[in-house]
Chains A and B, each alone.
Chain A
Amino acid sequence: MTRLQANRFSRRSFLGRTIGMTVGLGALAGLVACSQTAAPASPTAPATSGTAAPAQAPAQTNGAAKTVNLVWSGWILDQNPIINKLIDNYAKETGVKVTTSSAPDDLQQKVLLEANQKKSTWGGWEGHTAFLNTAPLVAANALAPFDSYLTEADKKDLLPTSIAEVTYKGQMYEFPFRVSPMTMIYRPSILEKLGYQQPPDSWDGVFELCEKAKANLSTSGKPFYGIVIWSTAWYGLWEVMETLTPEPFDTNAGLANMDIPEATQAMDIMKKLYSYAPTDTLSTDPTNYFQSGNVAMMLIYVLQAQRVKKALNGDVRIGRVPKTAKAQGTIFWSSGANLFADYGNVEDAAKFWLWLSNQKELYDSLWVQNGSPPNRLSMLQKFNDQKGKDLDPGFWDASDMQAHSQGIPNSLWIATQAKYTKSETENYLLGKTSSVEQAIQAIKKQTADEIAKQKQ
């Protein structure tokens, strides 16, 4: 034990060592944690490099080159490498360098948090969808409007329905790039077997097709479904309402109008459609069924057509939703760019967005191929030469449908109403609610209650 005796510490050195160790460990841990190569430690620093592989921006240099940090909904970046090329072009033209970041899934929340602290990591976001994002962001003073950056030519280049869609409290908070309308996606081979060239243009016709499908194509082991539907408000109830009346939304209240007779009719139609759909269409991803090959049609937005094409070897088309004498519309939403108010040079961001919206290559590679038309009418015309050729006829239908539709209002409460619309639609379809009136009443009451609570 003499070795131990020889190695004794004095009390002073013990304290010194302990403190030294703690400080050392703390410093090490701090060093490790703060030396994040990819992330800013606090959201205040605007000159952050993008985290996606494509673009790496230099730190912001004063005077020499201006930098604008923009965030993009992830899948747009991933599938559209053309953006990097365009960014380089823009840098050559104007000397402004744009950096790209990929948006996290709860970008909305992050933006709201930053707005609370009066700062913003990014100048704008591509992938902003007006009815989902605008109202809460404006309420938190997170957004800057586009109006002052738009020329008369820009405004004329958009359909009135597009402009109405992105306007909130008299100002435009999004510049729409492309439209996603709800459509009737179908299997041409299956419809042909049943004797149709395209989806029926009335709901009764749709029911008839479903009946035929069930009767002719179901086998004992493998049921066949005429259609799959979603219970989400804007894929389901509101969509059907749009096909029944030109104005299903009450823009003053900022909600879908549940008092009109079309609301009840729409719910009835949903119930009837559900009877032709697999029962778990409400919970699992309905495209699974579609991709398995035993469904004739699906009532969903255009981009899903591209997604399901692989599994079906291309046997997928975009078609029109049913219409009536009164209404020929469909639910649509435009995804586009916005501006974050707390960012330094919002003007540069706005200029870039507007420039980008005029670049044909952007639309070529991703959106147009998948049936999502541009909002800019001048851009839409540039694809005229492809009419009847490569582009799916549904592409032109989509644009036409949108022109006859009422956009979903931007409001603080639309998301709340959507939530209860979904759950009450499901309850009704599953038979938990016995009557349509009850279902509609439930939607109204729960929406009103929750709005009251949120306002407290």
Chain B
Amino acid sequence: MANAIGTRQRTLVGRRFRIRGEYLVGYAFIAPLLAMFVVYHLYPIIRSFTMSFTNFKYLQPQGTHFIGLANYQEAAESPYVQHGILLGIEYMLIYIPLAMIIALVIALALDRVSQHFLAGAYRTIYYLPVIMPGAVVYVLWKWMYIPSFGLINYVLVDTLHLLAIRPQWLGSPDLALPSVAFMEVWRLLGYNVLLLLVGLGSINRELYEAARIDGASELQLIWHITLPLLKPIFLVMMVLKMSVFAVVEPMLIAPGVGDSTWTWGWYAYDQAFLEGNLRMGYASAIGYLGALIMSVFVYFQYRLFRHERA
């Protein structure tokens, strides 16, 4: 906290007025931000939290009253919510490793490309899906996953003959969720690569030079220098990606068969906006239950991270 300016100002005439004036300016500058924050971040959290303890139904607000933990109990016992949480975990376990490893491999390769123009071209191409609206990407993939004439099977089965049978992708209860996860991996590939490139770029080149002089091979360079130095960023990225546990959007647009993609996040949205009387009280309870579980995950990740750092 640099106080240089403040002290300088304080020595001038009208000291107390100056200080208050300066504080006022500071508050004035952050006033719009605070206003927006309170209205659209703070208030919704409080409101939805209190909502979760009532039987609030949006289309029938008349009979709303306090029901304590009944929503939470119902959510915890509901087979849909339980299944939804398992699906959320499954999604996380598929998406995060896949996304990170692929992005890492690409970033490592891209980092070493020496021609500036070529590297820029690669980066731009990888980044293309990121700037497409997510909804559009999901619609696209919904069509691509169609077993008979979709692109995926066309490439894998008809052209490359890598598979003998035509997988049903979104139509198969087992493949649906991984298909959705892969869709997201594809979409955010460029973004992940970019973040890792920034991280790789911060590693001092001289370390590589020194190691090369000592006769280290490329692989050893990666293993002993790059990866350890990349670890902080890598772990931060992984912690940030924990939020996919609450995934909603892809399965709204490209759902799988039956309940194979009914993650808890989707189910909460469904209960609040798509079903019957719009039971927002119950949906909020589902949301906070899931948030609680996610916090547990993040906490453990954080502990792991701390441990690694030390």
Q: Does the CB pair B257–A292 fall under 8 Å?
A: no
Interface 0/1 of A387-428, CB less than 8 Å to B: 000000000000000000000000000011001000100110
Report the minimum CB–CB distance from A105 to chain B (whole Å). 11
Cβ contacts under 8 Å, B301 to chain A: none
Q: Which residue of A lies closest to B167 (CB)?
A: A280
Cβ contacts under 8 Å, A416 to chain B: 276
Cβ contacts under 8 Å, A453 to chain B: 74, 279, 282
Q: Is A441 on the interface with B (CB-CB < 8 A)?
A: no
Q: Does the CB pair A116–B276 fall under 8 Å?
A: no
Q: Does the CB pair B59–A112 fall under 8 Å?
A: yes
**With the chains together, A454 CA to B168 CA distance in Å?**
36
Interface 0/1 of B227-247, CB less than 8 Å to A: 000000000000000000000
Q: Does the CB pair B59–A140 fall under 8 Å?
A: yes
Q: Is B55 on the interface with A (CB-CB < 8 A)?
A: yes
Dominant secondary structure of chain A at its interface with chain B:
helix
Q: Does the CB pair A284–B61 fall under 8 Å?
A: no
Q: Is B256 on the interface with A (CB-CB < 8 A)?
A: yes
Q: Is B176 on the interface with A (CB-CB < 8 A)?
A: yes
Cβ contacts under 8 Å, A11 to chain B: 21
Interface 0/1 of B50-86, CB less than 8 Å to A: 0000010101010000000000001000000000000
Q: Does the CB pair A284–B170 fall under 8 Å?
A: yes
Q: How many residues of A contact B (CB 8 A)?
A: 30
**With the chains together, A236 CA to B10 CA distance in Å?**
80
Q: How many residues of B contact A (CB 8 A)?
A: 31
**With the chains together, A432 CA to B21 CA distance in Å?**
70
Q: Does the CB pair A116–B61 fall under 8 Å?
A: yes
Cβ contacts under 8 Å, B278 to chain A: 109
Q: Of B28, B256, B279, which is within 8 A of A283 by CB?
A: B256
Q: Is A279 on the interface with B (CB-CB < 8 A)?
A: yes
Interface 0/1 of A273-306, CB less than 8 Å to B: 0000011111110001100100000000000000
B-contacting residues, A179-222, CB 8 Å = none
Cβ contacts under 8 Å, A280 to chain B: 147, 168-172, 257
Report the minimum CB–CB distance from B129 to chain A (whole Å). 22
Q: Is A434 on the interface with B (CB-CB < 8 A)?
A: no
Q: Is B277 on the interface with A (CB-CB < 8 A)?
A: yes
Q: Is A65 on the interface with B (CB-CB < 8 A)?
A: no
Q: Is A36 on the interface with B (CB-CB < 8 A)?
A: no
Q: Of A116, A282, A284, A415, which is within 8 A of B59 by CB?
A: A116
Q: Does the CB pair A18–B28 fall under 8 Å?
A: yes
Given contact pairs A112-B59, A288-B146, A454-B276, A423 touches B259 in the complex (Cβ within 8 A): yes
Cβ contacts under 8 Å, B173 to chain A: 430, 432
Q: Which residue of B lies closest to A427 (CB)?
A: B258
Cβ contacts under 8 Å, B255 to chain A: 283
A residues sitting closer than 8 Å to B (CB atoms) are: 11, 18, 109, 112-113, 116, 136, 140, 278-284, 288-289, 292, 415-416, 419, 423, 426-427, 430, 432, 450, 453-454, 456
Leading 4 A-B pairs by shortest Cβ distance: A280-B171, A283-B257, A283-B171, A426-B258
